Amino acid sequence: MALGEALRTTFEEVWSHKLRSLLTLVGVVLGTMAVVTMVSLIEAVKVEVWNGIASLGLDGVMFISNAEPREPLEARRSHLSEGLTISDARRLVASSSLVAAAAPYARTHRLVAWGETGVSVPVVGTTPDFREVLRRRMAQGRFISAVDVERHRRVAVVGHLLATELFGSGKVVGRWIRIGDHRFQVVGVGAKIGNSFVNGGFARREMRSAIIPLSTWADVHGGGERVPLMVIRVAGTEGLGGTLAALKNHLWRHHNRVEDFEVENTAAEILREEAQIGDLLRGWTVVLFAISAISLVVGGVGIFSVLQISLAERLYEIGLRKSMGARDVDMLVQFLVEAVFLSVLGALVGTGLGAGLCIVLGPHFEAGLPISGFAVTLAALFAVGIGLAAGAYPSLRAARLTPVEALRG
């Protein structure tokens, strides 16, 4: 019996039992829809999580802060060191190929006000290199410039949340705000950091802060060349342990062999966190796929049951065809085609419904909910596999029947 004849017989069988075929398809449809939706959902979550982590700008970043010497001998010689200075940042970049950028950093809390609205937020003094170190983007205007630092200008860059608190949705760049007892002109607004999945304290603090030139900070708050903190970006994240040791040795020598500083290896911590998050997301992918695949297995049970019923109803037809010369393989192909047809039809309908659900849910995700090609392929292959597995036993039973057994049945 040709494959075309098997398809024709399949169409006739499905059409003549519409309600039974429809109920059989429900499990496959729901299973395919669940696989497409769940896998697309976890893929969208992965994209948002990695985008949120990337927006923090902490990969390859280390923080260096002032600290008391730990060794007694160094403690007695601590007066020989000036502590962290602006010059340390310049020297690190100029003398070490391991450091891509470095920015001195000072911070305090001050009342920032515009009109009748005032909030107490972090106020940061730094240099233009800060933007390069943390890879900051601007939502409006510009970041502080080298000219701002050189001329001690009273300009400020406000964070995304602070701009909303002070000005709402109104114009921000060009406004004059009061930081403590001094007036500053807003020259830029920082872009949003993190997202709904990555929204820790570090991101929120920076988005509620005001950044001013470090020279202006020194004019207002004092400190001169000394700074409490320095943030650096290393040239590469390979061999972070060696990079850390080299940085410590460089600073130790320039601080007259006094280790009055502490280096926080944030880059290594981020790598560890990313590895843990990757393992967690992979685990959730497996779990969600397993849960959604249960519906496909139920659909396979439905196909198996329908083929068993169809086999019992068509024993006389099978016996007649075999007595007229139909081979065992012809009967095997006929029932397998019917099983695969039901699974493929259910997969097509389920994929369409899953895609529609992704479109409906898409606006609730910042990066949207794109339909995963991997999910569609996986669902289709799994559905076809379920159809073949469900149809294997009934097909073999039909193929092994002799004409006499079939006609007697």
334 membership: H or E segment, kind and range: helix 328-361
Q: Residue 272 burial by CB count (10 A; 0-12/13-18/19+): exposed, middle or buried?
A: exposed
Residue 69 has pLDDT above 90, yes or no: no
List the one residue out of 191, 193, 175 whose CA is nearest residue 113.
175
pLDDT at 82: 82
230, 64 contact by CB (below 8 A): yes
Q: Is the pLDDT of residue 303 over 90?
A: no
Name the pTM for this structure: 0.74
Per DSSP, the chain holds a count of helices (H) and strands (E) of 15, 10
Q: How far apart are CA 165 and CA 365, in angstroms?
A: 24
The SS3 of residue 318 is: helix
CB 289 within 8 A of CB 39: yes
Separation of CA 351 from chain center: 24
β partners of residue 263: 64
Q: What is the pLDDT of residues 107-116, one digit of tens each?
A: 999 999 998 8
Q: In angstroms, what CA-CA distances link 102 with 96, 126, 174?
A: 11, 10, 28
**Over the stretch 266-285, which tens digit does the pLDDT of each residue have?**
888 888 888 998 898 888 88
> Average pLDDT in the 213-241 region?
86
Question: Two tokens at 2?
Answer: 């040709």
User: What pLDDT score does 204 carry?
Assistant: 87
Lowest mean per-residue pLDDT among 103-107, 186-190, 233-237: 233-237
Closest of 266, 197, 165 to residue 49, by C-alpha: 197
386/388 Cα distance (integer angstroms): 6
Q: What is the mean pLDDT of residues 230-249?
A: 85
Would you say residue 306 has pLDDT above 50?
yes
Q: Please tell me the predicted confidence (pLDDT) of residue 5.
A: 62
Beta partners for residue 117, in sequence order: 114
The residues, ordered by sequence, that sit 6+ positions from 77 with a Cβ below 8 Å of its Cβ are 69, 256, 257, 258
What is d(CA 4, CA 21) in angstroms, rounded to the nearest whole number?
Answer: 20
Q: Residues near 248 by Cβ (< 8 Å), separated by ≥ 6? A: 259, 263
| Best-predicted range by mean pLDDT (14-28, 194-208, 304-318) | 194-208
Cα distances from 107 to residues 51, 125, 181, in angstroms, run 27, 6, 16
When pLDDT is cut at 50, 70 and 90, the band that residue 384 belongs to is: confident
The mean per-residue pLDDT over the stretch 167-181 comes to 89
What whole-number percentage of the chain has pLDDT above 90?
Answer: 23
Across 103-127, average pLDDT: 91
Q: What is the Cα–Cα distance from 5 to 202, expressed in whole angstroms?
A: 68
Per residue in 38-58, pLDDT (tens digit) is 888 888 888 888 888 888 888
